[in-house]
Amino acid sequence: MAYQDWLFKDHPSGWRLRYRRQGGGYEASQDGELWRPVPSVTQITGLLHKNLHEWAVGRVVEYLKGELVPGLPLTQGDVERILEGARQAHRRASQRAAGRGGEFHAWAQGYLRGEDPPLPEGEPERRMALDLKAWWEGSGGKAVRLEEAVFHPEHGYAGRTDLVARLGGKLWVVDLKTSPRAYPEHFLQVGAYALALEGEGLPVEGGLVLCLGDGAFPVEVPLWEAAEAFLSLRRVWSFLELLKGSSP
C-alpha cells in the first residue's frame, strides 16, 4: 500500500493513527515504525447486527420471487443459476445500498461544510437530503468537526464521526443514518465516539442518532451508558478474536 493512500492523525497521547482513504481498516503506532491493526467501532458493534440477518433473508426471498415462475420447468442449469443468484442476492443488495449511502453521505458532508452541492438525483437520497437540510436549518446547528477519525489508545478502537456540532448551546456528536429507526448498535457507536472525543480533549455533552429513512427523526443517546455498553462489547470482541487465534 503506497504511502499516499494513507491518512494520518496524531493523538494527544503521542499515538499516531493511520487509515486508508477509501476505507479498509485502521492502524496505530507509538513510534511511527511499528504499526498494529485497530478494530473499528462498526466492526465491534457489528456483533449486534441481528437485524442484518433478517434483512439478508429478505433479499434472498425477493430474488427467488423474481426467478421462480409457477408452472415453468427448470433445467439443471437453471437450478444452479438460481441457487448461485440466491447465494449472492444479499451481497449485491448490500453493494447497491452502500453505493447509495455513500452518495448521500458525500452530499451531506459537503452541505454541512457550508458548500452548496446539487441535490442527489435519485430517490430516496434526494428526499433524505431535503429532510437533512430542513432539520439542520431548523436546529440552527454549527458544525465543529465533520467526517473525522477518532481513536482511543487505552481501549484500542477507532472510527469516523459523521458530525460534531453545536446545537442549542451544547456540543453534540451526531451519527447520520439512512434507516427509518435507530438500532442498539447505533447508540453504542455514538457512545464510542463520545468517549474517544473526550480522550482527545473535546468533551461532548450529548449524542444523537439522526434517522433519515422516513423524515428527519433525531433520537437522543444516553451517552455515557452507551459508552459503557460499548466497552463491554469491545471486551467481547477481544475474547472472540482470542478464540479465533487459539482455534486449530
DSSP codes, 2-59: -GGGEEEEE-TTS-EEEEETT-S-EEEESSSS--EEE-BHHHHHGGG-HHHHHHHHHH
DSSP-derived secondary structure letter, 248: -
DSSP-based three-state secondary structure for 80: helix
Widest CA span in the chain: 68
Q: Which residue has the higher pLDDT, 189 or 61?
A: 189
Contact present, 124 and 213 (Cβ < 8 Å): yes
pLDDT for res 9: 92
pLDDT for res 18: 92
Q: What is the mean pLDDT of the chain?
A: 85
Residue type, 239: F
Task: Tell me the percentage of the chain whose pLDDT exceeds 70.
Answer: 83
Question: Residue 175 CA to chain centroid, in angstroms?
Answer: 8
Position 5 confidence tier, pLDDT thresholds 50, 70, 90: confident
Q: What is the pTM of this model?
A: 0.80
What CA–CA distance (Å, rounded) separates 167 from 206? 9
Cell of residue 94, nine digits: 448490500
Residue type, 44: I
Contact present, 215 and 131 (Cβ < 8 Å): yes
Position 1 confidence tier, pLDDT thresholds 50, 70, 90: very low
pLDDT for res 97: 47
Position 48 confidence tier, pLDDT thresholds 50, 70, 90: confident
Cα angle, residue 44 at apex, residues 14 and 38 outer, rounded to 5°:
30
Given a cut of 50, whether residue 3 has pLDDT beyond it is: yes
pLDDT for res 212: 93
Dihedral in degrees, nearest 10, Cα atoms 190, 8, 19, 244: -80
pLDDT for res 87: 72
Cell of residue 19, nine digits: 487509515
User: What does the pLDDT average to over 145-150?
Assistant: 92
pLDDT for res 202: 92
Given a cut of 90, whether residue 55 has pLDDT beyond it is: no
Compute the radius of gyration of the chain from its Cα atoms.
21
Give the residues across from 161 on adjacent strands: 148
Q: Per-residue pLDDT tens for 70-94?
A: 777 777 877 677 777 767 765 664 4
Measure CA of the first residue to CA of the last residue in the chain; give whole Å: 30
